[in-house]
Structures are given as structure tokens and as C-alpha cells.
A and B are shown apart, each in its own frame.
Chain A
């Protein structure tokens, strides 16, 4: 299910003096099975981009194609889009509303037209995926859960729709380090199972570890697009628009600035450690 956008433009506050162009002629394609990290400072248009991609906003001009079909065409089946493409928003725990966890998670699948048995099965699988015991958690009220649990339930509600493309907007904001790690592992597991991931995040370390591609945005335009190694290599370019790279990459750059012989393609912790160990074995530090 490739997702592609062509010459996408979007404006906020159209027709007022406060009009801003949030997206300027954006064109890009995300292929099946990719794990795309979208980075950019606040207000760069990344949230707008994913909302357009998910069909939640209508572009001023340009097209959004999911699996070769224009999702804004008049005859397009929106239900199909909802089943294909799942969206987890920032602080998804605020979307819980049902009396029990089971019914809340089943909301999406039922709306997508699944039978009750199918939905039930998907609900169980989704709850297991996020680390719950379905039988135990399902009868509870979502409002009695802790913040972290609520978030997992909300994410299960999206996963239960069995999307082939999963869009995540800052899903790990406000989670503790362990929660973040677990969540990134979960996303990785989904990605390995063939789900295309598009994830907005400020957590460069997480993206360095898991993403297969990084798109950096600035002022409504694509600023950089490539593998994490490619994008993080040019630190100066990223700093210019208020971004940074993973901590390991930054540390490597600092060591290099002090005269260490360290390559520019180090973005993960273990790579950094390996490089330092190698230098010390060679007696260079």
C-alpha cells in the first residue's frame, strides 16, 4: 500500500490577514514496509502533512494517493481508507470514551464494518500486542487506568483496525524511558510484520535506532530526505533549522572536533561504542 502525495499545498486561516501556508508543493512517496521518521521543529507542517495523508484535512491543491487511489476523489470509499490507514495522535489517551476497554478498542473495527467475531479477535490481538491480558483488561473502565495504560489502550484501538499503514504523531511524548523503549519495540515489531510506519518524533535516538528513512521538514517544505545515516551526517544543515541528530551522532561529532578519528556515519550507541573501542585498541586514544 504505497502512500504518495503530489504537489500538496495547504493553508491555515485562508482569506484572513493571518493566512499561513503550512505546506508548499510537497511531493513524496512512502513505499510498503518503510519506517519513516518525520522530524522538524514545531510549526514546520509535519502534523499538517500527516493529517492530509490521513484524509483528515483536504488539500488546497495537490493529490494524496493511497494504494494508487486518490483519497479526495468524490467516489472514493472512506471506509476503505480508515481500514487501510491508522492514525495515532499525540496524547491518544484523550480519545477514550466507552464504558469498558473492550468496547473502546472495538469501536474502530466495528465502524470499519467488521463482524462482531472478527472485531473481538482483533481486539484481543491488539491488546496482547500492546502488552495486556485481554480477558483481564477488557471489562475495566478506561478511565480507571493509569496514564500509560490509557495510552496503550488507545493505541490498541487503532491497531485493532489492522491498518497496513500506521501514522503516529509524537506517540512517545510524556512516556517514561521504559515506556518509550517498549513502545518503539512494538512499532518495530509491527514494521517487521509488514506495516508501513510513518512516525513524527522529536526523539532522534529512537529514530536513529529504528527508522529506515528520515524526512526533515522546515517551513512547509521537505528539507532533507534519506536514511538516518544520510540525514544525520550533515549536522550543520540540521542545526540551521533548529534540529539535531541522535546523541551518539552528536557525541561522535564532538569527539571528531577534538581531533579523534571518528567517522560521520555513527548514529547509534553501539556504533559509537564500537568506534571508540576500536580507536583505543589501535592505541589512538
Chain B
């Protein structure tokens, strides 16, 4: 029943974009986010879009995959678009009805915001599509390391994130199994009104939580019996090393973004 859910967007590949250091990719993605907000002209957006398309092509990601990543947020994009058109009061008014106005400035603003949202999604998707969740958490942990100075539990956060991600497919499988078992006992999960539906979830949720807690206990025990004791003195299987390509990528992207932000 739940087999068709795809979790995480990672799209395995072996391109120059995939091979980049995750830290660089996170930094560049952040840079892009800033650029998307700073750029205020159509030309600037076009330049950013061209840059993103170039990266998409380099990473050999199909256009369908990118469009699919936009789809979940399509509603929000359309919603803000319509809201901006109707409620932004500009100078050149085309149509007015009560407090609803359609003006030239309103349309411009709406288009700008829509483009901005799409570019934001594409920029973040570029990161998640080409970086595996494990690499992402490794990169995050490495980037956030300075925060350890102020006692922020960086390693623990990263470990929690990777464990959570590791167990999503397991939980999905378990949900599927319990759903089937309860369905066989006559439980229904998709009928009735909202309240009834919520009540119908109890036979699914209780065993799911019981199982999850039990699993957490067992995992903790397994980790401890393999001498896991947090960050201190822990070595890594995959140590992140900056390569020349990584530095170049960062420099190039930084230059491009700054160029766009300043001149366009």
C-alpha cells in the first residue's frame, strides 16, 4: 500500500556535481539562496536560471525530475501568485472590485515572487538530488563544527539525523505490514469522516510506536556494545577532503553569484 512512496530525493549518479564535496555543495546552495533573494531584475533571474540549468545538465538530472521536485509546492506558488495579483495595490490599475485590484505592479510582483520561489526550490533540489542523505549530514556536521565551541551538540544532531533517515524506509515497511495485518482483522483506514479516520488510525499507530521505541532501545544497545560513546575520539570511514575541483567550483559559483547580485 505504501510501497510507492519515494523518500529523499537523492538521484544516484557519478557526475562532476555528484562528486563535489558535500560541504561545498551546501555552501553553494546557501549562496544561491542568498542570490535568489538579492537579485531584483528579470535579467538577474534569467542569469541565475541559466546557471541552474547548466548545473542540472552537468549533473545529468532529467527535466522531469526537477519538475517533480517543484510539484509538492506548486499549490503555494499559485496561491502566493494569485494573492499578490489581487492584493498588491499599485499605480497602474487594470481592474478593481472592492478591495481587490489588479495592477501592473501587482502582476510584476506576483511574477517575481513566483520565479523566486521556483528558483529557491530548484536551488535546494540541486543539492538534495545530487547529494546522498549520508553525505549531507556529514557535510553539515563538518560545517557546523565551530558551533561545538559554544557547546552545541553538533555530532549528536548529525547522528540523530542520519539515524532518522536510515529508519524511514524501515518504518514505512512496518506501517505497511501492520496496516495489512489490521486490515485482515477488519480495520478500515480510509472510510468515514475525519474524526472516525483519526480513530481508525489507533490500531496502526499504537503498534507502530511500540515497535519504534523497542527498535530505538535495541539500536542504542547495539551501538553501545560496539563502543559508541559520542564524538570524542571517533574516526570516520569517509573523511571529507577538499579537492582542487571543489575549490574551483566554490570560487566560480561565488564569482558568478556576486556578479549577478551586484550587476543584475
A contact residues vs B (CB 8 Å cutoff): 12-13, 51, 54, 56, 79, 82, 86-87, 89, 92, 94-97, 107-108, 111-112, 143, 157-158, 161
Contact = CB atoms under 8 A, between A and B. Distances in A.
B104 interface: no
Given A96-B207, A143-B210, A111 B180 contact: no
Contacts of A97: 202-203, 206-207, 210
B255 interface: no
A265 B183 CA distance: 41
B17 to A, nearest CB: 22
A94 B178 CA distance: 7
B185 A82 contact: yes
Contact of B180 (A56, A82, A143): A56
A158 B183 CA distance: 11
A89 B185 contact: no
B207 A111 contact: no
Contact of B185 (A12, A51, A108): A108
A49 to B, nearest CB: 14
A112 B210 contact: no
Interface of B: 3, 174, 177-178, 180-188, 202-203, 206-207, 210-211
A217 to B, nearest CB: 20
Contact of A95 (B185, B188, B202): B185
Contact of A89 (B180, B188, B202): B180
A161 B210 contact: no
Contact of B186 (A56, A89, A161): A161
A107 B199 CA distance: 13
B207 A94 contact: yes
A95 B210 CA distance: 10
Contact of A54 (B184, B188, B210): B184
Contact of B184 (A12, A89, A94, A96): A89
A198 to B, nearest CB: 13
Given A97-B202, A111-B186, 19 more contacts: A13-B3, A56-B183, A82-B184, A82-B186, A86-B184, A89-B177, A89-B184, A94-B174, A94-B181, A94-B211, A95-B182, A95-B207, A97-B206, A97-B210, A107-B186, A107-B187, A111-B187, A158-B185, A161-B185
A87 B3 contact: no
Nearest to A83: B186
Given A97-B203, A111-B186, A143-B210, A92 B181 contact: yes
Contacts of A107: 185-187, 203
Contacts of B183: 56
The 9 closest A-B pairs by CB, nearest first: A111-B186, A97-B206, A87-B184, A108-B185, A95-B181, A82-B186, A89-B181, A56-B180, A97-B203
B90 to A, nearest CB: 47
A108 B186 contact: yes
Contacts of B210: 94, 97, 143
For A82, A87, A97, A143, the residue with the greatest tally of chain B CB atoms inside 10 Å of its CB is A97
30 contacts: A12-B3, A13-B3, A56-B183, A56-B184, A79-B186, A82-B184, A89-B180, A89-B181, A89-B184, A92-B181, A94-B207, A94-B211, A95-B178, A95-B181, A95-B185, A95-B203, A97-B202, A97-B206, A97-B207, A97-B210, A107-B185, A107-B186, A107-B203, A108-B186, A111-B185, A111-B186, A143-B210, A157-B185, A158-B184, A161-B185
Contacts of A82: 184-186
Nearest to A113: B186
A13 B4 CA distance: 7
Nearest to A111: B186
Given A94-B207, A97-B203, A111-B186, A51 B181 contact: no
A86 B182 CA distance: 11
A224 B181 CA distance: 28
For A56, A96, A157, A161, the residue with the greatest tally of chain B CB atoms inside 10 Å of its CB is A56
Nearest to B210: A143
Contacts of B184: 54, 56, 82, 86-87, 89, 158
A79 B191 CA distance: 14
Contacts of B178: 94-95
Given A111-B187, A112-B186, A161-B186, A87 B203 contact: no
Contacts of B3: 12-13
A51 B183 CA distance: 11
Nearest to A85: B184
A12 B183 CA distance: 20
